[in-house]
Amino acid sequence: MNDFDAGDQGPVTSALLGELLGRVDGGICRTLRTGEYLWREGDVADSVALLRAGTLEVVSAGGDGEDAIVLRLLQPGTVLGEIACLDGGGRSADIRAGCPSEVVCYPATLFRTLLRERPRVLEMLLLQQAETVRRLTAQVTQHHRRAITDPLTGLYNLAFFVERLALEIDRAQKTGDPLAVVMLDIDHFKLFNDRYGHQAGNSALVQVSGILRAAGRRGDIIARYGGEEFIALLYGAGADEACRFAERVRSRVQVSDFADDGAQPPRRLTVSAGVACYPSENADPDCLIMEADTQLYRAKEVGRDRVMTACRA
């Protein structure tokens, strides 16, 4: 092997590792036709590959069918397969040639010996992988957040709410804790939209969402139920606390100005709310939501802008 010292040149890049491997004897050249696979997911990681010419594709699934999706393109100078060689695991993805390509494969034993002789390079390589994991974790977190939230209001979406409600009811049954479901609806919202336009209506939905967040406690699950309806899960709250929450929202909405363009006179809205409680009501999630909805419509029927519940304090 020729000597190579990474020194303090910063994180190991694929180009740096490729330069290091390019100085090593023992590599086996391989030419790939377009569409030919270098390796498949799960294959034994017995070598590290250096792409010398052409383009390699990371694809979502093996096989030669049309369902394979290209996830990433690899350019000349890229080194791949190094982590699998270090941890002894199988290949983590399918790799195929996007065009006629040339790779040099180095046996895993040679690669590991190379890194043992250059611990600084090994250290930087691992730091680079750690940074990659952090970046991917952040991306997964961001995508998950998008999947469980309503894009307009930023509140949770109904699917996530229903999932959490089932989990929290199960927890309450085991611990004996109370919980409450509060359903809220903006009164005469269609008239507001018709008079001021949908953009003003969307701004009002966002403003009401902010009032809901401010009125809730840390850990409360507040979601957009659909349209101008909202729903809240208050774990550990009995009837009195749940009604106080709903009343805080109702009173704050009542005095708020929903003119997002500074228009005069102020634009007013009100909300009606219904409260259902466990263990006063059935532990079934659908039954709790239905009872909160029933109480909401009782509030509508007797004049709106009020909170109704059949829960016992």
Q: Among all residues, which ones are annotated catalytic?
A: 228
Backbone dihedral angles phi then psi of residue 67, each to the nearest 5 degrees: -80, -15
Beta-carbon neighbour count of residue 50 at 10 Å? Answer: 25
Instruction: Give residue 183's Cα distance to chain centre.
Output: 26
- Residue labelled with tokens 């909170």: 307
- DSSP E strands in the chain: the ranges are 28-32, 37-39, 47-53, 56-59, 70-74, 79-80, 94-97, 101-107, 179-186, 221-226, 229-235, 271-278, 307-309
DSSP code at position 35? T
Residues 6+ apart with CB under 8 A from 9: 16
Instruction: Give residue 261's Cα distance to chain centre.
Output: 33
Backbone dihedral angles phi then psi of residue 117, each to the nearest 5 degrees: -80, -15
Q: Which CA distances in Å does 89 have to 46, 84, 126?
A: 10, 5, 16
Vertex 251, ends 245 and 252: CA angle to 5°? 90
Backbone dihedral angles phi then psi of residue 13, each to the nearest 5 degrees: -100, 165
Contact 211, 232 (CB under 8 A): no
Q: Can you give the C-alpha Rg of the chain in angstroms?
A: 30
Amino acid at 134: R
Give the C-alpha separation, 73 to 71, whole Å: 7
3 state SS of 196: helix
- Residue labelled with tokens 């001021």: 196
